[in-house]
Structure 1
Amino acid sequence: MPESAWKLVFYTMSWSYSTYLLFFTNYTFFHDPPSVFYDWKSGMTVPTDIAVAYLIQGSFYGHSIYATVYMDDWRKDSTVMVVHHVVTLALITFSYAFRFHNIGLLVLFLHDINDIQLEFTKLNVYFKTRGGDYYLVHDILSNMGSVSFSITWFLFRLYWFPLKVLYATCVSSLQSVPNIPFYFFFNSLLLTLLCMNIYWFLFIVAFVAKVLTGQMKDVKDLREYEGEEGAQRAAALLKDQQRLQSEDAGHLNNSAEGKHVQNGITKEKHL
Structure 2
Amino acid sequence: APESAWKLLVYSCTWSYSIYILFFTKNNYFYDAPSTFYGWKSGSEVPNEIYLAYILQFSFYIHSVYGTLFVDAWRKDSIVMLAHHVVTMLLIGFSYAFRFTNVGILILYLHDITDILLEGTKLAVYYKTKGGRWYTACDTLSTCGFVLFGLAWFVFRLYWYPLKAMYAAGHVSKVVNDGITFYHFFNGLLWILLAMNVYWFMFIVNMAYKVVTGKANEVDDTREYEAFSGKNGKAK
> Any conservation in 1 of the 2:74–2:229 contact (CA below 8 Å)?
no
Q: What is the CA-CA distance between 1:93 and the residue it aligns to?
A: 0.4
CA distance in 2: counterparts of 1:176 and 1:226, whole angstroms = 51
CA distance in 1: counterparts of 2:183 and 2:226, whole angstroms = 37
Q: 1:48 maps to what in 2?
A: 48
More contact order relative to length (CA 8 Å, sep ≥ 6):
2
Q: 2:36 maps to what in 1?
A: 36
> Any conservation in 2 of the 1:75–1:226 contact (CA below 8 Å)?
no
Secondary structure at 1:59's aligned position in 2? Answer: helix
CA distance in 1: counterparts of 2:78 and 2:138, whole angstroms = 28
Larger radius of gyration: 1
Q: 1:138 to 1:229 in 2, by over 3 A?
A: closer
What is the TM-score when the length of structure 2 is the normalising length? 0.96
Q: 1:103 maps to what in 2?
A: 103
Q: 2:123 maps to what in 1?
A: 123
Number of residue pairs matched by the alignment:
235
Q: 1:62 maps to what in 2?
A: 62
Moved over 6 A (4+): none
Q: What is the CA-CA distance between 1:197 and the residue it aligns to?
A: 0.2
* Structure 2 counterpart of 1:204, one-letter code: I
Q: 1:73 to 1:85 in 2, by over 3 A?
A: same
Alignment RMSD: 1.5
CA distance in 1: counterparts of 2:175 and 2:60, whole angstroms = 34
CA distance in 1: counterparts of 2:233 and 2:129, whole angstroms = 22
Q: 2:86 maps to what in 1?
A: 86
> Any conservation in 1 of the 2:4–2:122 contact (CA below 8 Å)?
yes
> Any conservation in 2 of the 1:74–1:226 contact (CA below 8 Å)?
no
> Any conservation in 1 of the 2:153–2:201 contact (CA below 8 Å)?
yes
What is the TM-score when the length of structure 1 is the normalising length? 0.84
CA distance in 1: counterparts of 2:129 and 2:67, whole angstroms = 27
Q: What is the CA-CA distance between 1:210 and the residue it aligns to?
A: 0.4
- Which stretch of structure 1 is more off in the superposition, 183-192 or 173-182? 173-182
The percentage of aligned residue pairs carrying the same residue is 57
* Structure 2 counterpart of 1:47, one-letter code: P
Tell me, which stretches of 5 or more residues in structure 2 are unaligned? none
* Structure 2 counterpart of 1:194, one-letter code: L
